[in-house]
Structure 1
Amino acid sequence: MRAVRSIKGRLGTAAALAVPLAAFATEASAHVKWFCAYDVAGQPRGLAEVLCADFEWLTGLALACLMLGCLAEGTPLGIALLNALDRVTTRIRTDTHLLVRVTLGFFFVSLWSLGGIILTPELTTDAAWIPWLQLGLAGLLISPRTTPLVGFGIVFLFAYATAQYGAFHLADYPVFLGVAAYLILTGLGISVLGLRPIDVVRWTAAITLMWASVEKWAYPHWTDPLIAAKPAMTMGASPELFMKAAGVIEFTLAFALIWTPLVRRTSAIILAGIFVSAVFEFGKVDAIGHSGIIVVLLAIAADDVRAAASRRQVVLAPAYYGAALAGFLALYYVGHALLFGGPAELTGMPVI
């Protein structure tokens, strides 16, 4: 009983610390392209402005939190927390496939009802057959046997949207391909390269959120209308610092999804809480748009597969985190420069 009370006390403390974190990140977690004007082809903020002193101490603090989580992995406390998570999420784990199907059914029926949308609110279309195709996909989700067809349908819609809006824009949404892979693999009862279906969707969710984090740093001004309408959301911080912090929080939690079991499950719970909280602020559109990733995060939180933890993971965390951060910044900025033009140092071409 003492051990249980100790665990509950520590969970309460962790929850208390997570509340202000969630409150800080919630407002910026609504996808800005759904609510504000944006220009994907516009020049992003220069890296020299992004990689400033504020950015450095924010990432240092985030990395310290990540390493603390790694230190708990494999300890009696960490094992007790994992056991507690296993018990609490039993029903979600047992019914993961059903929850995914029901949520996606809601998602596709909602898109049909709204009309003129390809997968996500800002990807609009005049094609009358798109809503009906999405309604058909919702119907196919009734039976587990036809879920692979839904997966292939999502891949088709993703490819169609890419043809309409470009690969750089659709780089915001690789989680759709992860969900498609999940439906195909679970429906056919197979795995790819030894990865379970939940692992595939977990990696694509992490990639999606890390990419979105870079966009917060590259285009903080896209969120200006939201901040102007709700100035209290910054909690006294400048809009510049607020967006940097929101991006760092999101990037760190996203990176945690590909790390050790306790770290990734805790991260999934925090992220799911943030996305659910954002629904109360931004309403129906946000609820529909984020329903898919919320159910994915719940599935990750319920995943009870464990791996042997080691101190090596704590030591390697800064190196892998730094590599991921540098890699996504480079991919975003170089990719944007090559596709839309940019500074000579990125494109290798003279600026005209």
Structure 2
Amino acid sequence: MITKTRIVAASVLGLPLMASAHIKWFVDYDTTKAPESLARIAGAQDFWALLFLSIAIIFATSVLDRKIPSFTDRPQLHGWLEKSHNAIPEIMRWGTGVFFLTLGIFYPHVILTPELIIENPWLKYLHFVIAFTAFSKRSSFIAGFGILFLYCYAVQLYGLFHMLDYFVFVGTGVYLITQTILPRRTYGTELELLRFVLCYSFLWGGIDKFMQPALFYQLLNDHSYLAMGLNWAFFVRACGFVELCLAWHIYTGKMAGYASIGVLATIVVLAFIPFGLTDFIGHFLFIIPLVAVLLTPRKTFIFRSAMTNTVGFVMMLVALTLFGYLSYYFLHFHLYTHL
């Protein structure tokens, strides 16, 4: 019988680590395999239990978020926040430059993330071009277009549905382009786009755990201790809801956004322990935008009340789930007609 201690340990250790892992970096995946059916997901009682628990948590934390003053509500911190905000362009450019320099030297056959591999001898030179042009504001647009080119290259090789996992690279590329072409006084919109694609990437990761749980079972075969004795199906779904709740607060919350970024950043760092250098390299260009979002706190709520924020969470969950299934079948239909 599973003890209370194991359940608590699983929630503290296993759920976060699995929530942060991009599964395709560590397992054999088959893009022709259809996702878990909606009927099968909806037929699981634990799915509904986790859904209602997540809704309750989102509502309760949204209420607290509107009662606890955020850093933007404290005048004594405005000077520090302004200085931190002004450092974001350099953080984004230098972080991107270091990332692609690392790929060029140590991982020349990786396109953007560890599972996107092609034996193209010219790829490393593009990595170096992106790296060195990213460091300067004047040339960062070249790096931005280079990233967008690599994303399109990966779409050609792996399919658009697969690359929906990595839309954050599109946001990073667009951000670097705007650093060159937009005057500094107009900065702001590109950060909102970056926040959106970053949160979308984590939200999509949560939905992916409902759609393709078998991939995560492969990971648990090698790291079964993460589940701490819990049923694997329940465990993977719970990981999905953890990721969804954190990403939603990062996008919509103020103080809750700060807290969720702290939790998610801790999760990502802890995941380096069991998943190693591959996880570090794969998450590097997720961490840099996460820092940028941390230094760009929301001054106003997207949703005025806790109730509307909770309703928005439910609507997001439904819309993203439907988008996942529709995009899979429509985007793959011309390649895999048997589906």
Q: Structure 1-normalised TM-score?
A: 0.83
3-state DSSP of counterpart to 2:251: coil
Q: Alpha-carbon deviation of 1:223? A: 2.0
| Letter of the structure 2 residue corresponding to residue 251 of structure 1 | L
RMSD, aligned α-carbons: 2.9
Contact map agreement 2:23 2:215 (CA 8 A) in 1: yes
**Corresponding residue for 2:46?**
54
Contact map agreement 2:14 2:228 (CA 8 A) in 1: no
1:44 aligns with 2:38: no
Q: Alpha-carbon deviation of 1:143? A: 1.5
Q: Alpha-carbon deviation of 1:190? A: 5.0
- Residue segments in structure 2 that go unaligned for 5+ positions in a row: 1-7
Contact map agreement 1:18 1:270 (CA 8 A) in 2: no
Contact map agreement 2:109 2:120 (CA 8 A) in 1: yes
Q: Alpha-carbon deviation of 1:108? A: 0.6
**Corresponding residue for 2:100?**
108
State which of 283, 287, 310 in structure 1 corresponds to 2:280.
287
Q: Alpha-carbon deviation of 1:92? A: 4.8
d(CA) in 1 for partners of 2:15 and 2:279?
Answer: 18
d(CA) in 2 for partners of 1:85 and 1:45?
Answer: 48
| Letter of the structure 2 residue corresponding to residue 260 of structure 1 | G
- Deviations 1:173-232, CA, capped at 9 Å, x for gaps: 1110111121122333359x9952221110001111122222111111112232122221
The structure-2 alpha-carbon separation of the partners of 1:149 and 1:339, relative to structure 1 and needing over 3 Å to count, comes to closer
Higher mean alpha-carbon deviation, 197-206 vs 59-68, is at 59-68
Contact map agreement 1:22 1:273 (CA 8 A) in 2: no
User: Structure 1 segments of 4 or more deviating over 4 A?
Assistant: 17-23, 80-92
| Letter of the structure 2 residue corresponding to residue 136 of structure 1 | V
Q: Aligned residues: percent identity?
A: 27
**Corresponding residue for 2:237?**
244
1:132 aligns with 2:125: yes
Contact map agreement 2:17 2:270 (CA 8 A) in 1: yes
For 1:304-315, what aligned pairs fall within 5 Å after superposition? 304-307=297-300, 312-315=304-307
d(CA) in 2 for partners of 1:204 and 1:136?
Answer: 24
The structure-2 alpha-carbon separation of the partners of 1:57 and 1:94, relative to structure 1 and needing over 3 Å to count, comes to same
- Deviations 1:272-297, CA, capped at 9 Å, x for gaps: 22111111221111111101111211
1:266 aligns with 2:262: no
- Residue segments in structure 1 that go unaligned for 5+ positions in a row: 1-16, 342-348
Q: Which has the higher relative contact order, 1 or 2, with Cα contacts under 8 A spaced 6 or more apart?
A: 2
State which of 328, 331, 336 in structure 2 corresponds to 1:336.
328
d(CA) in 1 for partners of 2:101 and 2:71?
Answer: 41
d(CA) in 1 for partners of 2:19 and 2:81?
Answer: 28
Alignment length, in residue pairs?
325
Contact map agreement 1:69 1:262 (CA 8 A) in 2: no
State which of 286, 306, 315 in structure 2 corresponds to 1:323.
315
**Corresponding residue for 1:345?**
none
Contact map agreement 2:250 2:257 (CA 8 A) in 1: yes
For 1:80-159, what aligned pairs fall within 5 Å after superposition? 83=74, 92-112=84-104, 113-159=106-152
Contact map agreement 1:269 1:297 (CA 8 A) in 2: no
d(CA) in 1 for partners of 2:71 and 2:110?
Answer: 45
